[in-house]
Chains A and B, each alone.
Chain A
Amino acid sequence: MTVITDAAENVAGAGVSGSGRVRRLTGGDKIVLGLMVGVPTLLHVALVWVPTLVSILLSFSQWDGIGGLATIKWVGVQNYTTMFTVSPTFWPAVQHNIIWLVFFVLLPTPFGMFLAYQLDKSIRFTRFYQTAIFLPVVISAAVTGFIWQTIYDPDNGLVNSILGTNKPGTSYIEWLGDSHLNLWAVLVAASWRQAAYIMILYLAGLKGFDPALREAAALDGATEWQAFTRVTFPALRPINIIILVVTIIESLRAFDLVYVVAGTNGTKPGLELLSILIANNILGESSLVGYGSALAVVLLVISLVPIVSYVFQTFRKDQQA
C-alpha cells in the first residue's frame, strides 16, 4: 500500500516542482483562456442546463406540443400527483430501474472484472477470447434485441428447446411474454453486453498495471485473492470509479434493448422503465409533454443521487490530499 501511495506522490510531485509562480497573462493569453473556458461553458449551458431547466419548468404544465407557447397550460404539481397516485406504470418503472441497477452491480460487473482478470494472465488464445467476449458490445443494441428474441422464442428458441419447455399444455415458458419473467430475461440479455463492456475496460486497466507489484505481493506470501483485493484492486482505483459510473449510467439509461424486445408501441407489462415511459409520453402523435417532463425530472433526481455522492467523495479526497 505505502509503495503505491509513495509512487503516486512522486509522480504528482514531479509535475508540480518544476513550475514556478504563474506569470502575468498577456492580452492574447486572456483571449485564448477566455475562449477555452467560454466556449465549453456556453455549450454546457446551452446543451445541459437550458434543457434541464426547461424540462423542470414544463413538468408543471399540460401541453400536447401543438401550437405556440401560449397554448401551454400551467397546472402546478398535478403531473406529479398523477404520477405518484394514479399512474399504474410509474412505480413499477422505478422498481424496475432499481432492480436493473442492483442486478448490474451485483452480477455482470463483477463477472466482467473476473473475465478481465483471467484474460490478463496471458493464457492461450487470449486474443480470441477477448474478441469473442467483446463482440456483444460492438453489435448494436437493436441487433442484440433481435438475437435474444430468437433465443427466447417459446416454440423454437434455444432456451426452451434445451429445457424442453416448448410444449404447450404441459410445460411452456414464455420468457418475454410473461410479465413476471420478462424483466429477468431482458436483464440476462443486457448482462451479456454489460459484462463484455466491463471486461474490456478493466482489461485496459490491468494492462497498465505494473506486474512488479503483484510479484512483490506474491513474494511476501500473499494468496491470489489477497493480491487482488489488497494490491490490484486498490491500485486500479481510477478504473474502478469509471466502471462504477459506467454501470450506474448504463442502468439508468437502459432503453434500447427493452424498446426492441417490448416493441416501439406502448409499454409492456413487466418491462416498464422510466426512460421508456418518458419516450412514450413525449414522442409520438398525441404527446403529454408536461407529464413526460415530470417523469424526466424524477429520473434526473434519481440520477443525481449517485452523481452527487460521487462528486462529494472525490472533492473530499482532494481536500484531504
Chain B
Amino acid sequence: MARPRPGQLPTFDRRSALKVLLAGAGLAAVPGLAACGSGGSTGGASSNTVTFGSNGSDAKPKQAYQAVLDAFAKQSGGLTAKVNTQDHQAFQQNINSYLQGTPDDVFTWFAGYRMQFFANKKLLSPIDDVWDKIGANFPQAVKDLSKNPADGHYYFVPIYNYPWGVFYRKSLFQAKGYEVPKTFDDLINLAKKMQGDGLSPFVQGFGGGESWMLLGTFDYLNMRTNGYQFHMDLMHGKESWTDPKVKSAMDSWKRMLPYYQAGASSKKWEDASAALVNKTGGMMVIGMFVGQSFTNQSDYEDLDFFAFPEINSQYGTDAVEAPMDGFLLSKNPKNPDGAKKLLEYLGTAEAENTYLSIDASNLAVNEKADTSKYGTLQQKAVKFVADAKQLSQFGDRDSDPGFIQNVVEPAFAQFVQSPNNSDSLLTQIQSQKSQYFQS
C-alpha cells in the first residue's frame, strides 16, 4: 500500500523532534561553554596580559585598534593587550550580559547617558587615577563628558569624535549662487529655492532600520529652539514631551518636511547620500561619516558643511552634536594595573594619531594630537567642535537607548509620514516614558 500509514508518521515525527531538541540543546550549550572557557583562560593569564573588548568589527576600525594595541605592546615593557573583537551591532545588543558575565578588562563604548547608565549600575570601575595623568591632554568639554555627573568620578577615556552638521557641495552652491543660511528661515527659503531649481533640498534616508537618522535633525531642532539644557533634561526623562517647547521644535520640523527627498522613508542613508554625490540633492543633516559615500577624492574635497542654523537667538548655534567614542574599565578587571596602563596609553596623543592614521573618518579629541595631515573638511570640523559651547552626544547616546529605539524612533518615523499627528505622537511618547525612567 503506497498510502502513508497513519501509524508511521507520529513515530518518525517524535523521534526527529527529539533529535532536533537534543541538537538544539547541544548548540545552546556551546556558546555558554565557549564563554566559560575563554573567561577561564583569561582569568588564569599572567599579569602580562590585558584583555581588550572591541566593537570595531568593520575593516578600518579593526585594523586601527590592532595598530594601537601593537604600538602599546612595544612601549609597555612586556605588557600585551589581547583583543577580542565582536560584531558592532551584536556587541551593543549583548552589552548587559557581557558586563554581568566575564567582560574584558578594557572595552570600547560611547560617552553620554549610555556610559553613565552602566556607571550608576556599578558595572564599571572609576579611573580618576588614569585621568590624573592624561587630564592635561583634553579640553574641558571632553573632560565633562568622561565623567559621571552622578558621582563626579571619571570612567571614560575618549579616542575620537565626529560632528553632525548640514553637509553640502561647495561647487553646487557656487554654481547656483546659494548662500550658507544663518537662520532657520534662511534655511527654509534656500530649500524652496533649491526645489525651484529641480533639486531635492533635504537629502535624507531613514528607511530600512535607520530611523535613528531622524534623531540628528530632532536633536538640533530642539537644541536650537530650547537650548542644550532643556534638550538634555528632555532626553534624561526630566522634562515632558508634551511641553509646548517640544511642540515648537516639531513645528519647525514640519516646515522642513515638504522639502525632503522623495523616498526618504525607504532608503538607507548610504543610498540617499548618492544624491549629494551626484549633485541632485542640496543638503543633508548628517554626521561626518557621510564622507564614506565619496569614493572620488575630488568630490570629497568639494564636500563642506555648515552648523544647523539658529532658531532662537538666545541659544544661537552654541550646541554641537559630536558623538564621542572611547574606552571603559570593567567592574572586576583581571589585571587592573595593566588595564589602567593601557587606558593611560589610549589617552595619549600617540595612540590617537595611530588610530586616526588608519581610520580617518573621525577627529582627534586629544589637544596634542597631530592634525597637520588633516584635510580642509577635517580641520574645519575640529575647529567647529572646539568652538562649541556644549557638546551633545546624539539622541540614542544622551538618553535611554531602549526608550529611544522602542518609543521615540517609531513615533518620529510616524511623524514624518503624517506630520499633522505630531501632538498625539508626543502624547504617546510621554505616556510610555515612565517605563524607562524611574526616579
Interfacial residues, chain A to chain B (CB-CB below 8 A): 7-8, 11-12, 15, 40, 43, 47, 62, 64-67, 82, 86-89, 149, 152-155, 168-169, 172, 174-179, 205, 208-210, 235, 238-239, 261-269, 280-281, 283-288, 291
B148 interface residue per 8 A CB criterion? no
Q: Contact: B9 with A238, CB < 8 Å? A: yes
Q: Are A175 and B266 in contact (CB under 8 A)?
A: yes
Residue from the list A40, A169, A280 in contact with B18, Cβ < 8 A: A40
Task: Tell me, rounded to whole Å, the shortest Cβ–Cβ distance linking B257 to chain A.
Answer: 14
Could you tell me if B402 and A286 are in contact, using CB atoms closer than 8 angstroms?
A: yes
What are the residues of chain A within 8 A of B428 when measuring CB–CB?
A: 88
Q: In the bound complex, what is the Cα–Cα distance between A168 and B203 (angstroms)?
A: 14
Tell me the nearest residue of chain A to B432, going by C-beta. A86
**Is there a chain A Cβ closer than 8 Å to B299's Cβ?**
no
The reply to whether B4 and A208 form a contact with Cβ atoms under 8 Å apart is yes
Q: Given that A11-B5, A66-B121, A208-B3 are contacting pairs, would A284 and B93 also be in contact in the complex, using a CB cutoff of 8 Å?
A: yes
Q: Among B6, B114, B212, B264, point to the contact of A12 (Cβ < 8 A).
A: B6
Q: Are B405 and A284 in contact (CB under 8 A)?
A: yes
CB within 8 Å for A269 and B402 given contacts A154-B266, A155-B263, A285-B114? no
Chain A residues in 8 Å Cβ range of B114: 285
* Inter-chain contacts of A172 with B (CB < 8 A): 262-263
Assess the A265–B209 pair: CB atoms within 8 A. yes
Known A65-B96, A179-B417; further 10 A-B contacts with Cβ < 8 A:
A88-B411, A149-B208, A174-B266, A175-B266, A177-B207, A209-B3, A265-B405, A284-B96, A284-B402, A284-B405
Per the bound structure, the CA–CA distance linking A283 and B401 in Å amounts to: 12
Nearest to A39 among chain B residues (CB) is B18
How many angstroms between the C-alpha atoms of A54 and B62 in the bound complex?
40
- Give the distance in Å from the alpha carbon of A235 to the alpha carbon of B2 in the complex: 12
The chain B residue sitting closest to A11, CB to CB, is B5
Interface band, chain B:
35 or more
List 14 interface pairs A-B (beta carbons < 8 Å), by A numbering.
A66-B99, A67-B121, A149-B208, A172-B263, A174-B265, A177-B207, A178-B417, A210-B3, A238-B6, A265-B212, A268-B413, A269-B413, A286-B401, A287-B96
Q: Is B21 an interface residue (CB 8 A)?
A: yes
Residues of B within 8 Å of A208, CB to CB, are: 2-4
Q: Is the CB of A285 within 8 A of B209?
A: no
Closest Cβ neighbor of A284 among chain B residues? B93
Given contacts A153-B266, A179-B414, A285-B114, contact A263 B211 (CB under 8 A): yes
| Contacting residues, chain A, for B99 (C-beta < 8 A) | 66
Given the known interface contacts A7-B1, A154-B262, A155-B263, the answer about A266 and B93 at a Cβ–Cβ threshold of 8 Å is: no
Provide the B116-130 mask, 1 if CB < 8 A to any CB of A, else 0.
Answer: 010001010000000
- CA of A88 to CA of B99 in the docked complex: distance in angstroms? 32
Please encode chain B, from 75 to 114, with 1 for each CB lying within 8 Å of some chain A CB and 0 for all others.
0000000000000010011011101100000000000001
**Residues on A with beta carbons closer than 8 Å to the beta carbon of B211:** 263, 265-266, 268
Query: A265-B405, A288-B435 are contacts. A7–B3 as well, Cβ < 8 Å?
Result: yes
Give Cα A281–Cα B93 distance, bound, in whole angstroms.
11
Report Cα–Cα, A42/B2, bound state, in Å.
37
From 259 to 280 in chain B, residues with beta carbon under 8 angstroms from any chain A beta carbon are 262-267
CB neighbours of B400 from chain A (8 A): 286
| Residues of chain B lying within 8 A (CB to CB) of residue A283 | 93
Contacts of B405 in A (CB 8 A): 265-266, 280, 284
**B100 and A66 form a contact (CB under 8 A):** yes
CB <8 Å contact, A177 and B266: yes
For residue A239, which residue of chain B has the nearest CB?
B4
Q: Of B9, B267, B409, which contacts A265 at CB under 8 A?
A: B409
Instruction: Report if A267-B406 is in contact (Cβ < 8 Å); known contacts: A205-B4, A238-B6.
Output: yes
Residues of B within 8 A of A66 (CB): 96, 99-100, 121, 123
Q: Which of B1, B4, B7, B263 contacts A15 (CB 8 A)?
A: B7
Docked CA distance A65–B123 (Å): 13
A239 CA to B99 CA, complexed, in Å: 48
Asked if A12 contacts B7 (CB within 8 A), the reply is yes
- Structural contact, B96 and A285, CB atoms closer than 8 A: yes
Inter-chain CA distance A177–B213, complex, in Å, is 14
B184 touches A (CB below 8 Å): no
In the complex, A169→B258 CA distance in Å?
11
- Max chain B C-beta neighbours (<10 A), residue from A40, A169, A265, A283: A265
Determine if B403 is an interface residue (Cβ-Cβ < 8 Å).
Answer: yes
**Is residue B40 contacting chain A, with contact meaning CB distance below 8 A?**
no
**With A154-B266, A205-B4 in contact, do A269 and B401 touch (Cβ < 8 Å)?**
no
A174 to B260, CA, bound (A): 14
Q: A266 to B400: give the CA distance in the assembly, Å.
A: 13
B188 smallest CB distance to A (angstroms): 19
* Residues in chain A near residue B267, CB distance under 8 A: 154, 177
Which chain B residues in 394-439 approach chain A with CB under 8 Å? 400-403, 405-406, 409-411, 413-414, 417, 428, 431-432, 435-436, 438
In the complex the two chains form, is A267's CB within 8 Å of B432's CB?
Answer: no
Q: Nearest Cβ in chain B — how far from A148, in angstroms?
A: 12
User: Which of B5, B25, B208 is in CB contact (< 8 Å) with A47?
Assistant: B25
A43 touches B21 (CB 8 A): yes
Task: Provide the residues of chain B in CB contact with A175, threshold 8 Å.
Answer: 266
| Inter-subunit contact B403/A286 (CB<8 Å) | yes
| Known interface pairs A177-B265, A179-B417; A264-B89 also in contact (CB < 8 Å) | yes
- Chain B: minimal CB distance from A33 (Å): 15
Q: Is B210 an interface residue (CB 8 A)?
A: yes
Q: Once bound together, how far apart are the Cα atoms of A273 and B411, in whole Å?
A: 16
A6 to B314, CA, bound (A): 90
- Max chain A CB contacts within 10 Å: which of B100, B123, B208, B428? B208
By a CB distance below 8 angstroms, the chain B residues around A176 are: 207, 266
Closest chain A residue to B99, Cβ basis: A66
Tell me how far the C-beta of B135 lies from the nearest C-beta in chain A, rounded to whole angstroms: 29
| CB <8 Å contact, A285 and B410 | no
When distances are taken between beta carbons in the complex, the residues of chain A under 8 Å from B6 are: 8, 11-12, 238
Q: Which 10 pairs from chain A and chain B are nearest by CB?
A: A263-B209, A168-B262, A177-B266, A177-B265, A286-B402, A154-B263, A266-B409, A266-B405, A265-B209, A269-B414
Alpha-carbon gap, A220 to B92, bound state (A): 68
Would you call B265 and A281 a contact (CB within 8 A)?
no
A286 lies within 8 A of B263 (CB): no
Contacts of A235 in B (CB 8 A): 3
Task: Assess whether A266 is in contact with B2, with CB atoms less than 8 Å apart.
Answer: no
**A280 x B207 contact (CB < 8 A):** no
